[in-house]
A and B are shown apart, each in its own frame.
Chain A
Amino acid sequence: MTDVITLEGDVLVVGGGGAGMFAAVAAARNGARVLLLDKNVIGRGGASIMAQMTCASALGEVEADGPELHLEDTLKAGRGLCNEKLSALLCEGSPRRIRELASWKVNWARRDDGKINQVKAPGHSRQRCVYVDFLSTGAAICAALRNKISRDANIRRLSNVSVTDIVVRDGETVGAVGFDVATSRPVKIKCKAVVLCTGGMTKMFQRTTASNNLAGEGVGLALRAGARVIDIEFLQFYPNGHLAPRMVGLDPTTWEPTRVKLGGRLINGLGEEFLHRYGEEGGGAYDTARDTLTLAIYKEVEAGRGSPHGGVYLSFQHIDAQKLRNALGPVVEIFERNNIDLARQPVEVFPIAHYQMGGVEVDTDMASCVPGLYSAGELAGGANGANRLSGNALPEAVVFGERAGEKAAQFAAQSKAAKWEDKAAEPHLDLIRGIIGKTPGGGASPARLMGELKTLMWGKVGAFRNGSDLAAARERIRAMRQHDLGDLSVSPHAVHNTSLVEWFELRNGLMAAEAVATAALGREESRGAHQRDDFPQADDRFLANQRLSLVDGELQSVFRRLDA
């Protein structure tokens, strides 16, 4: 079980979602031998595949538009905290990537005249968002990328390999270690550059919109390697997450594109429309920013005007039944299997954990402060500031993924002989060997502790926060990280040992969770997706980015004003 598998390449990409697959393609076309690893199945997990509709790109196909206008909207949504250079890269790069994806057979929805169709999403000043279908845009992009990487001889893709540590020698990235989930054999990966594309941390919350595998691992991997994390307190809650009745077979974000397409109305438990109370237009309007919509729904429930399951209603009952049926197409069958008839009943919705705005601090090469360590996609912090604009996540995945792959390949080409050293990797490999079969039957399972963490994050580090809850959460999370984690019982099975995968998810996820609680406690104001009941206003003193680093095993926070 302990004989180590050795892999070698120029560039290692960790995470096989939209950003990781694009990074692999870009690194390979810039001359690198690429290893693309995912602890689950490449191109099947992550958040990109779950993206339903909107992908922002200033193509100007439907009306005059340009990247500078897209940038203006992105900065406005970011509530003053965007890294403008990264935001500009995102907006300028999107049209090229969208057209490139079209050449790889992503069938963007088109108008009768053959032009790519573009629709307006909340917060955008132009009709800018492209889509494939109103529920399967991300899946179409992932299918095209899976096809692309499977045909590239310079990309070796490996599913079911969990990366547990970046190996750093003399302050530089020299590779990584992990284990083969199918056999539990340790793996060492010798390479010249690593691109982290592990996505966000939605798994840390009870109710989420993304795949089960997004456990904040990139935050833990990067911090332990010596990189910094920026603005990690900003986590976006998706306003209209599905709440009730029980529905399976569809993404819980289904209701937002459905609301846009059909004009659904948001109604509180008393049957009233309520968005006007929060400075917005009526319940059928579709131009309310996500942070505002989340606030409005929370406040209605808090005031005792919620629906039976503690959310609000989204109703399509004012729409003709046949029109509903025609517009929804095959999705009607999924609703029917769940006994949901939109012509007769509203559904209940409530904000749900969705997206991480902050993340690894990178420059415009997607490089962290650790030479050879790059990050892209949702994990890379900065472009979205305090609140992400609807439709900016998919372009972030493909634009930053492409950029990181290109720059990592160039870095690898310039670096001299591989600097790998077994001695630097050995402690990380020993940790893996020590966890398999640890205290069998003795302690709680990793899944149990993960369950407690999800409840804690949902209750105390969610969309609305206060100082005492955050302090209590941070204390408990730190105890979990420093004590409970070590006492967990891990199954001795060698083959597909899920509790081993979960133990390492928790090791990083607890670091990510503690980072959020720490940063949220430090930011004594309300801005964008970070809302403090005890500091309800934005405060110019906090017009600053917050950076976290790991010093002697403890998180340290430093604010730096944008104008500093």
Chain B
Amino acid sequence: MSASANHSANAANTARLRIWRGSERDHGRYEEFDVRFEDGDSVLDGLVRIRLEADPDLAFRFSCFNANVCKECTMLIDGNVEYACIAKLKPGTIQLDPLPNLPVLRDLITGTLSHKETL
């Protein structure tokens, strides 16, 4: 399944985000979104843009927005644990997965909080 944030986007400044979607690790799927970007934009910028323009249901955590302070936006980016707020968008496909070894809550959100801190 795929969706596009902007079908008319120019390939030179468009990244294709291949995002894991679902609520159970064994029953997920990938959805692809094309996002326009300017030099220097982060993967988090792309995710925020997808929520705004294509799919408001997409779930991921962040608070500080590109300042790398809150440390909430950790995810697997092309297989590496990274912060979405400092990883840069680039032309071509970038695959995003929830963190491994943690329960998946939904999409890119995993159970990173202590059980004492959640209902």
**Chain A residues in the interface with B (C-beta under 8 A):** 5, 40-42, 44-46, 49-50, 139, 157-161, 180, 182-183, 185, 187, 211-213, 245-252, 337-339, 445-448, 451, 491, 493, 495-499
In the complex, which residues of chain B have a beta carbon less than 8 angstroms from the beta carbon of A158? 117-119
Determine whether B100 belongs to the interface, using a CB cutoff of 8 Å to chain A. no
Determine whether B85 belongs to the interface, using a CB cutoff of 8 Å to chain A. yes
Determine whether B71 belongs to the interface, using a CB cutoff of 8 Å to chain A. yes
Report the separation of the CA atoms of residues A180 and B117 in the bound assembly, to the nearest whole angstrom.
Answer: 12
In the complex, which residues of chain A have a beta carbon less than 8 angstroms from the beta carbon of B88? 248
In the complex, which residues of chain B have a beta carbon less than 8 angstroms from the beta carbon of A40? 61, 63, 70, 72
Q: How large is the interface on B (under 10, 10 to 19, 20 to 34, 35 or more residues)?
A: 35 or more
Query: Would you mind naming 5 contact pairs between A and B with Cβ atoms under 8 Å apart?
Result: A5-B119, A40-B63, A157-B116, A159-B117, A160-B113
Report the separation of the CA atoms of residues A146 and B56 in the bound assembly, to the nearest whole angstrom.
Answer: 31
Residue from the list B23, B72, B118 in contact with A44, Cβ < 8 A: B72
Chain A contact residues: over half helix, strand or loop, or mixed?
loop
A249, B63: Cβ atoms closer than 8 Å: no
**Contacts A41-B113, A44-B63; is A183 near B57 (CB within 8 Å)?**
no
In the complex, which residues of chain B have a beta carbon less than 8 angstroms from the beta carbon of A248? 40-42, 44-45, 66, 68, 85-86, 88
A211, B70: Cβ atoms closer than 8 Å: yes
Known: A249-B68, A496-B107. 15 other contacts (CB 8 A): A41-B63, A44-B63, A44-B70, A45-B63, A157-B116, A157-B117, A159-B118, A213-B63, A246-B38, A246-B39, A249-B86, A447-B51, A447-B52, A495-B23, A496-B109
In the complex, which residues of chain A have a beta carbon less than 8 angstroms from the beta carbon of B66? 248-249
Report the separation of the CA atoms of residues A451 and B53 in the bound assembly, to the nearest whole angstrom.
Answer: 11
A249, B85: Cβ atoms closer than 8 Å: yes
Closest to B57 in A: A491
A-facing residues in B25-40 (Cβ within 8 Å): 38-40
Closest to B39 in A: A246
In the complex, which residues of chain B have a beta carbon less than 8 angstroms from the beta carbon of A339? 40
A44, B71: Cβ atoms closer than 8 Å: yes
Give chain A nearest CB distance to B70 CB in angstroms. Answer: 4
A250, B70: Cβ atoms closer than 8 Å: no
B63, A211: Cβ atoms closer than 8 Å: yes
Report the separation of the CA atoms of residues A44 and B107 in the bound assembly, to the nearest whole angstrom.
Answer: 21
Residue from the list A5, A160, A250 in contact with B67, Cβ < 8 A: A250
A49, B70: Cβ atoms closer than 8 Å: yes
A-facing residues in B61-119 (Cβ within 8 Å): 61-72, 83, 85-86, 88, 105-107, 109, 113, 116-119
Closest 4 pairs (CB-CB, A-B):
A246-B40, A45-B63, A445-B56, A249-B86
In the complex, which residues of chain A have a beta carbon less than 8 angstroms from the beta carbon of B72? 40-41, 44
In the complex, which residues of chain A have a beta carbon less than 8 angstroms from the beta carbon of B58? 498
A493, B117: Cβ atoms closer than 8 Å: no
In the complex, which residues of chain A have a beta carbon less than 8 angstroms from the beta carbon of B107? 496
In the complex, which residues of chain A have a beta carbon less than 8 angstroms from the beta carbon of B45? 248
A249, B67: Cβ atoms closer than 8 Å: yes
In the complex, which residues of chain B have a beta carbon less than 8 angstroms from the beta carbon of A49? 64, 69-70
Report the separation of the CA atoms of residues A563 and B45 in the bound assembly, to the nearest whole angstrom.
Answer: 50
A246, B41: Cβ atoms closer than 8 Å: yes
In the complex, which residues of chain B have a beta carbon less than 8 angstroms from the beta carbon of A44? 63-64, 70-72
Closest to B68 in A: A249
In the complex, which residues of chain B have a beta carbon less than 8 angstroms from the beta carbon of A337? 86
B51, A498: Cβ atoms closer than 8 Å: yes
Report the separation of the CA atoms of residues A165 and B112 in the bound assembly, to the nearest whole angstrom.
Answer: 27
Report the separation of the CA atoms of residues A445 and B56 in the bound assembly, to the nearest whole angstrom.
Answer: 7
Give chain B nearest CB distance to A337 CB in angstroms. Answer: 7
B63, A498: Cβ atoms closer than 8 Å: no
Residue from the list B57, B86, B118 in contact with A499, Cβ < 8 A: B57
Closest to B106 in A: A495
Report the separation of the CA atoms of residues A161 and B65 in the bound assembly, to the nearest whole angstrom.
Answer: 20
B70, A41: Cβ atoms closer than 8 Å: yes
Report the separation of the CA atoms of residues A336 and B86 in the bound assembly, to the nearest whole angstrom.
Answer: 12
Closest to A180 in B: B119
Report the separation of the CA atoms of residues A457 and B63 in the bound assembly, to the nearest whole angstrom.
Answer: 21
In the complex, which residues of chain B have a beta carbon less than 8 angstroms from the beta carbon of A182? 105, 118-119
In the complex, which residues of chain B have a beta carbon less than 8 angstroms from the beta carbon of A5? 119
**Contacts A493-B57, A498-B56; is A247 near B40 (CB within 8 Å)?**
yes
A161, B119: Cβ atoms closer than 8 Å: yes
Report the separation of the CA atoms of residues A339 and B39 in the bound assembly, to the nearest whole angstrom.
Answer: 10
Report the separation of the CA atoms of residues A425 and B60 in the bound assembly, to the nearest whole angstrom.
Answer: 31
In the complex, which residues of chain B have a beta carbon less than 8 angstroms from the beta carbon of A157? 116-117
Give chain A nearest CB distance to B23 CB in angstroms. Answer: 6
Closest to A139 in B: B69
Give chain B nearest CB distance to A531 CB in angstroms. Answer: 27
Report the separation of the CA atoms of residues A212 and B109 in the bound assembly, to the nearest whole angstrom.
Answer: 17
In the complex, which residues of chain B have a beta carbon less than 8 angstroms from the beta carbon of A499? 56-57
Closest to A448 in B: B52
Give chain A nearest CB distance to B68 CB in angstroms. Answer: 4
Report the separation of the CA atoms of residues A271 and B63 in the bound assembly, to the nearest whole angstrom.
Answer: 37
Report the separation of the CA atoms of residues A187 and B88 in the bound assembly, to the nearest whole angstrom.
Answer: 38
Report the separation of the CA atoms of residues A49 and B44 in the bound assembly, to the nearest whole angstrom.
Answer: 19
Give chain A nearest CB distance to B36 CB in angstroms. Answer: 13
Residue from the list B52, B62, B106, B116 in contact with A212, Cβ < 8 A: B62
Give chain A nearest CB distance to B101 CB in angstroms. Answer: 19
A496, B59: Cβ atoms closer than 8 Å: yes
Give chain A nearest CB distance to B22 CB in angstroms. Answer: 11
**Contacts A183-B119, A496-B106; is A159 near B69 (CB within 8 Å)?**
no
In the complex, which residues of chain A have a beta carbon less than 8 angstroms from the beta carbon of B70? 40-41, 44-45, 49, 211
B67, A495: Cβ atoms closer than 8 Å: no
